[in-house]
Amino acid sequence: MEIVAKEAGASLKQAIETRQARVAVVGVGYVGLPLAVEKAKVGFPVVGLDRSAERVASINRGENYIADVDDRELADLVASGRIKASTDFAAIGEADVVVICVPTPLNANRDPDIQYIVHVAEQMVPYLRPGMLVSLESTTYPGTTEEVLMPILAQSGLEVGKDLFISFSPERVDPGNARYTTRNTNKVVGGVTRTCLDIATTFYRQTILDVVPVSSPRVAEMTKVFENTFRAVNIAMVNEMALLCDRMGLDVWEVVEAANTKPFGIMRFNPGPGVGGHCIPIDPFYLTWKARQYDFHTRFIELAGEINILMHHHVREKVIQALGKLRKSVAGSRILLLGVAYKKDISDWRESPALKLIELLERDEAEIRYHDPFVPAFVDQGTERTSVELEAGLAWADCAVIMTDHSRVDYAQVVKNAKVVVDTRNATARVPSGRERIVSI
Ligand SMILES: NC(=O)c1ccc[n+]([C@@H]2O[C@H](COP(=O)([O-])OP(=O)(O)OC[C@H]3O[C@@H](n4cnc5c(N)ncnc54)[C@H](O)[C@@H]3O)[C@@H](O)[C@H]2O)c1
């Protein structure tokens, strides 16, 4: 039995080292598509599996839909046959390595919704065979790989660590970050057994400069949720400072700038309208849920969530304050949101604080439009919205609210042409005139 194990593992490792191993990436979204491209670039034959027929068709036409992926690179890889895409899970039967990058949202009760992982695992079972590596990359709570993924995959009858190899390796991609890309961002890997870890680290070393092996999938899972909790908590702390500075009549941006001159013992975080995206508002609550099973209450996470949500309401109050300068009430006012993406220079608007502000201000009977050069249109809660031209939007609005500080927006033009501005990002810091019409958070 041990000999068979060594054979299955050894030949898979060799196929990985020679980059002949066939790679299936399940879920070709923000995480999966860049990963598929990186693997194909170094020579692996890659298939992207997705339930979205639209995404699959787009890849097969060589058409890119993820900002961090180079259009030309994807087109060339598809044209040369190194990347193809499919909706058919039978493609798993052709793969040696399967990387799972499906969503991990919260459900209506704000508990982990791991149905996508479960569904993918169940669909894979009939196609598993000896000598395969399955690596989960979706962010999730510690225990998912061994408590959820592994038992489903074990239904194949394959023995984990002997003929099937399972690992967890969290994706750390920072959308829009040109300095740290998939290749030069260290990658943490945990394997169910030592052989699983060995094979998984070999796989990731083909495309990533620095791979960090850890002792178990649980450690790797915890590492990822810790990292995102670290961000959520620190953003909340600087947001609390912003609320206090506002009460005390101090400029929080000046305080943050000054504190940041300390060469040690401080790390810069900026206040803002709240947190957004698929990660920071969600991932820490995966840990909160798991902690409850250990009679543990994650107080920092709860508090950070509370403060970051409070910021939506704080921005609403700032809009009311700005409209006060015009002697206008919020009901019936026209508000232009500048930026609906959750952070600068990207197109992802999921969980964006702008969505919450729209909801609050529409409840106040304000009329809302938005301008975002990265988000031409989006649908939220059944309502489709389309970005308006900046100039026309500013002429229309009573108040412009800078929610995202996209680099390509001319903030001098915004201040010049808006009646009043609420600036949640300090984007107007260098605009010298019209400051009396700017309300900062
Ligand atoms: N977006 C980020 O910046 C980021 C960063 C680090 C980690 N993550 C994590 O990576 C995971 C994926 O996030 P994302 O942003 O890439 O999501 P995404 O929504 O952009 O992509 C997920 C893809 O999975 C597909 N999918 C869903 N269910 C499927 C199924 N049953 N079978 C096949 N395909 C299916 C969807 O159609 C979609 O194309 C999440 O766990 C997320 O927390 C995301």
Q: For 143-159, what is each residue's pLDDT tens digit?
A: 999 999 999 999 999 99
Same domain, 40 and 184: yes
Most informative mutation of 38, 65, 149, 171 for ligand 1 (most atoms within 8 A of CB) = 171
Of 148, 183, 215, which one is at a domain's C-terminal end? 215
Q: How many domains does the chain have?
A: 2
Of 177, 164, 230, 206, the C-alpha closest to 30 is 177
Q: What is the pLDDT of residues 343-393, one digit of tens each?
A: 999 999 999 999 999 999 999 999 999 999 999 999 999 999 999 999 999
Please tell me the predicted confidence (pLDDT) of residue 67: 85
* Rg of the chain in Å (alpha carbons): 24
Most informative mutation of 102, 225, 282, 351 for ligand 1 (most atoms within 8 A of CB) = 102
Could you tell me the CATH number of the domain that includes residue 95?
A: 3.40.50.720
Q: Closest Cα to atom 10, ligand 1: which residue?
A: 138
**Residue 102 Cα: closest atom of ligand 1:** 24
Same domain, 22 and 153: yes
> Over 80: is that where the pLDDT of 242 sits?
yes
Same domain, 192 and 157: yes
User: How confident is the prediction for the chain on average, in pLDDT?
Assistant: 96
Cβ–Cβ contacts within 10 Å for residue 104, how many? 22
Q: What is the pLDDT of residues 61-118, one digit of tens each?
A: 999 999 889 999 999 999 999 999 999 999 999 999 999 999 999 999 989 999 999 9
Confidence tier at 3 by pLDDT (50, 70, 90): very low
- Would 211 be classed as within a structural domain? yes
Same domain, 117 and 247: no
Q: How are the residues of the chain apportioned to helix, strand and coil, as percentages rounded to the nearest 5?
A: 45, 15, 40
Same domain, 288 and 430: yes
Please tell me the predicted confidence (pLDDT) of residue 62: 97
Same domain, 358 and 301: yes
Q: Please tell me the distance from the alpha carbon of residue 152 to that of residue 191, in angstroms, as a whole number.
A: 17
Same domain, 319 and 243: yes
Q: Closest Cα to atom 27, ligand 1: which residue?
A: 102
For 175-298, where are the alpha helices, taking DSSP H only? 194-205, 217-248, 252-259, 283-292
- Would 116 be classed as within a structural domain? yes
Same domain, 237 and 196: no
Same domain, 207 and 259: no
pTM of the model: 0.93
Same domain, 127 and 272: no
Q: Are 283 and 139 in contact (CB under 8 A)?
A: yes
Q: Where are the beta strands (DSSP E) in 2-116?
A: 23-26, 46-49, 83-86, 97-100
- Would 222 be classed as within a structural domain? no
Of 154, 187, 215, which one is at a domain's C-terminal end? 215
Amino acid type, 338 = L
What are the tokens at 399?
């108040």
- Would 399 be classed as within a structural domain? yes
**Residue 66 Cα: closest atom of ligand 1:** 20
Of 215, 250, 278, which one is at a domain's C-terminal end? 215
**Residues with active-site annotation:** 279
Same domain, 186 and 59: yes
Pocket lining: 50 vs ligand 1, CB cutoff 6 Å: yes
**Domain extent at residue 22:** 2-215
- Would 225 be classed as within a structural domain? no
- Would 142 be classed as within a structural domain? yes
What are the tokens at 157?
């009858």
Same domain, 276 and 172: no
Please tell me the predicted confidence (pLDDT) of residue 6: 59
